[in-house]
Amino acid sequence: MSDFLPDSVVERILLKLPHTALVRFTSVSKPWNSLISSHNFIVQHSLSNPIDPLILTFHSTRSFLSTFCIDPSLTFTPIDSPSYPFSLRFLQSVHGLVCLHHAHNVILWNPSINKHFRIPAPTLGPAAGIGFGFDSKNHDFKVIRIVHSCRVELYSLNQGCWKDIDVPLEVDLSLKFSDTPCFLNGNVHWLVYHDDIYGDEKHILMFDVEEEKFGKLEFPAKLVKALFMNLKVTVIGDNLSVLNCKSRRDWCDIWMVGYHGVWNKMYSFNIVGGRGISNVFGLSSKETVIVLRQDPEEEESERTYFSMHSFTYQSELVEFFDVEGEVSSVCEYTPGSLFLLDKA
């Protein structure tokens, strides 16, 4: 690779460079391209260069990217997003890789290197639940599709194929799944709901992406009777949380799980002004939630108003922002990743 430095030294130097430089350096020589595009190099670089997260906001017609900070000077910069003949929805962002989906279509997108990868069509029918996570042992991104009560399939980015997952008899998958799962500590989490003649049941279904096994977490007892449409499972400040928000009202309760699976209501907040809450999203890097609300003055406004609620044990800091266009979803995204660089 170099006539003057050992290959190992060159590699250590390259690992410290930003992703923008490394993408350019793939054209320097075939050996450099081979090194930088290798799976081991991509994993090492992407997991060892922490960068402050950004906020990625999805609009009906375009996407915007902005630096994440609780700061009134927050600005929104347009970026190019994958173009497909169907409307993509945000599913999850893990280690700089954003998972988008529509029906059976699943797209993995790395905004840092402006590259996306369409996962091959699944073998089974429409999914009741879908999730995305990272296997830290094998350094592998995985997509999980729950098709019905006894059929589950998993896609491995490393293996490049789908496979069936065995479902133990004690795992009930004949459930209604939330469409906003979250990923924490190696597990995909869904809020699930079962309603029959014996009453309703809510719990959190977990899937360990490394062991490829299902688990279950009990739901906060005081939320068992809450409307399913008002609930969301998310991650706030590295804590598994459940939000109970009334979409057209102005309040939201935040529950967090502690040791031994015990749930506690940690925060409650009100939205002042506007016409209620249209959506709420947790941020894992800080104890913060982003609240989307409609224009307080105009019924047909072309602006979306943000409020960021940052919590401590003693206080709450609120900052307000607004942006042109109707925002449908928000995700926390960590830039600088090289994942997908090795994909054609």
pLDDT tens-place string over residues 62-115: 555 443 343 444 566 777 778 777 778 889 999 999 999 988 899 999 999 999
Whether the pLDDT of residue 294 is over 70: the answer is no
Residue 250: which pLDDT band, with cuts at 50, 70 and 90? confident
**20 by DSSP, 3-state: which?**
helix
Domain boundaries, the chain: 1-37, 38-333
pLDDT, average across residues 34-56: 90
The mean of the pLDDT values for the chain is: 83
Q: Which residue has the higher pLDDT, 284 or 200?
A: 284
For residue 40, pLDDT over 90 is answered with yes
| Mean pLDDT, residues 119-131 | 92
Mean pLDDT within 203-230: 92
Instruction: Check residue 138 and give its pLDDT.
Output: 97
| pLDDT, mean of residues 23-38 | 94
Mean pLDDT calculated for residue range 25-41? 94
- Residue 136: partners with Cβ closer than 8 Å, 6 or more residues away: 186, 210
Note the pLDDT tens digit of each residue in 129-166: 999 999 999 999 999 999 877 789 999 999 999 999 98
Pick the CATH number of 38-333 from 1.10.620.20, 2.120.10.80, 2.40.160.210, 3.40.30.10: 2.120.10.80
3 state DSSP class of 260: helix
Buried/exposed code over 252-286 (b: 16+ C-beta within 10 A; e: otherwise): bbbbbbeeeeebeebbebebeebbebbbbbbbbeb
State the pLDDT at residue 66: 44
**Residues forming a β-bridge with 141:** 134
Helix, strand, coil content of the chain in percent (nearest 5) = 10, 45, 40
202 vs 327, residue with greater confidence: 202
Q: What is the pLDDT at residue 298?
A: 55
Crossing angle, helix 39-48 and helix 7-15, to 10 degrees? 40
pLDDT for res 313? 53
Q: Which of 67-71, 182-186, 337-341 has the lowest mean pLDDT?
A: 67-71
Residue 183 has pLDDT above 90, yes or no: yes
* More confident of the two residues 179 and 94: 94
DSSP reduced 3-state for 16: coil
Lowest pLDDT segment from 32-46, 82-96, 265-279: 265-279
pLDDT category of residue 224 using cuts at 50, 70 and 90: confident
pLDDT at 282: 85
